[in-house]
Amino acid sequence: MLEYIKAKVADYAVILSWIEQELQDIETRCPEHHPLIVHLQSELVDTKGLHDYLKELVEASDNRAISLIPVLESFIVLATAYYLPALQKEGEADRFLRRLLLSVAKQCGLNWVEDIVVHLDGEHETFSRLSVETPLILAPPQHAVSLSDMPGLYHEFGHNVLRKLPGIVDVLGIAVSEHFAKLRKGDSLEYWEIGRLGELFCDIFATFVCGPAHYVSCIDMGIRSDCDPFLVDDGDAHPPFSARVYVCCKSLNIIYGNEPVVAMARDAWESCEGTRDRDEVFELVCSEALLDCLVDASLRCIQELLPNAKYYSTPLPRDEELEHITEEMSLEDMLNRGAKILFMYPERYAGWEEKIFKRLNSIYRPDLSV
């Protein structure tokens, strides 16, 4: 084992030196990422200190040396598999969405966010392990030219909120415990572990700040997935889609009760649910009474802990006014109008979306002529 650790000491020396040089090059090339580079360099300094300690332990034949390898690996993987590839391959489309999301973060009450790295290279995912101030967001490449699935970005911001305010999950956990204590069903508590409570909160948060657009997007995602909406799967980090859609609906502002696109989406989802059967496990673990408690607790946490987060409550226009584009429109306004146009007047959508991206380009791609 000692010879193996000696080899890793040499290996890490090369890798850490390379990371250091890459960070220096990126900061020179992309000064706008200075806050992120500072965090990465700080972590690098700490990791190099551990590397030095590892060498000392190896020289002393100390058995504790092996315990440092996973710690060193943690930073190296975070840097080399996530942050550095995103920064090295950052193109204009990534920078465009970064500028857009920095603006959206403030609208959502995430005042602590200093920088965002966007990598348009896959499904939605957020990494805030380095720091909540500098998240890395993975997203589908079509976000560079289309509003399709963009409401999912608000769900990703929810994960950053939980990283900043982990006590929210504790509040939700208490709500779950109290609910099942009344039913004397303590074994059902195991299903609602931190990860699933977090995913449910992110759906609620996204609907709170993005409104009907996120509700419709969640339904769209559920129908496209072709999964059993009532399946309680212990191997899935997400709750069943039926529970996710339910909490999104309950999180909507009351003014959308008679909104046509909301009614259309609800009808489509009920048709989807009608092809499957609810079983006793779903009825127990994801009962409406429990989900109502979790929605109430989540909304209270948002309003108390994120006072700058704006509850989306803008009425959706009708007819010709729906396609009107103004300078004051937020991304949330665009996404909600877009959802209504797409699902109520699909023949008008392509032309309208093209105009929206001209507007977005004029703001968030100032270095390009559009």
| Nearest in space to 360 (alpha carbons), one of 120, 100, 115, 103 | 100
pLDDT value at 71 more than 90: yes
Would you state the pLDDT for residue 61?
A: 86
The answer on 306 and 289 residing in a single domain is yes
The answer on 345 and 233 residing in a single domain is yes
d(CA 173, CA 194): 8
DSSP secondary structure string, 219-247? HHHHHHHT--TT---TT-SSPPHHHHHHH
Domain boundary pick from 27, 57, 88: 88
The answer on 342 and 264 residing in a single domain is yes
* Mean pLDDT in residue range 79-102: 95
pLDDT value at 361 more than 70: yes
The answer on 144 and 78 residing in a single domain is no
Would you state the pLDDT for residue 74?
A: 94
Cα 279 to chain center, whole Å?
30
Domain boundary pick from 64, 88, 112: 88
pLDDT band at 368 (very low <50, low <70, confident <90, very high): very low
pLDDT value at 302 more than 90: yes
The answer on 360 and 258 residing in a single domain is yes
Would you state the pLDDT for residue 185?
A: 73
* Mean pLDDT in residue range 281-288: 94
pLDDT value at 255 more than 80: yes
The answer on 69 and 183 residing in a single domain is no
Rounded percentage of the chain residues whose pLDDT exceeds 70: 98
The answer on 112 and 53 residing in a single domain is no
Range of the domain at 31: 2-88
- Tens of pLDDT, residues 128-139: 988 999 999 999
The answer on 149 and 35 residing in a single domain is no
Q: What residue type is assigned to position 314 of the chain?
A: T
Q: Structural domain tally of the chain?
A: 2
* Mean pLDDT in residue range 120-126: 92
The answer on 115 and 29 residing in a single domain is no
Distances (CA, A) of 74 to 41, 56, 77, 118, 156: 15, 20, 5, 21, 22
pLDDT band at 365 (very low <50, low <70, confident <90, very high): confident
Would you state the pLDDT for residue 370?
A: 35
Domain boundary pick from 66, 88, 110: 88
pLDDT band at 369 (very low <50, low <70, confident <90, very high): very low
The answer on 106 and 58 residing in a single domain is no
The answer on 173 and 48 residing in a single domain is no
Question: pTM of the entire structure?
Answer: 0.93
* Mean pLDDT in residue range 51-70: 89
* Mean pLDDT in residue range 287-310: 97
228, 186 contact by CB (below 8 A): no
pLDDT value at 367 more than 70: no
The answer on 216 and 101 residing in a single domain is yes
Rounded to a whole number, what is the distance in angstroms from the first to the last CA of the chain? Answer: 60
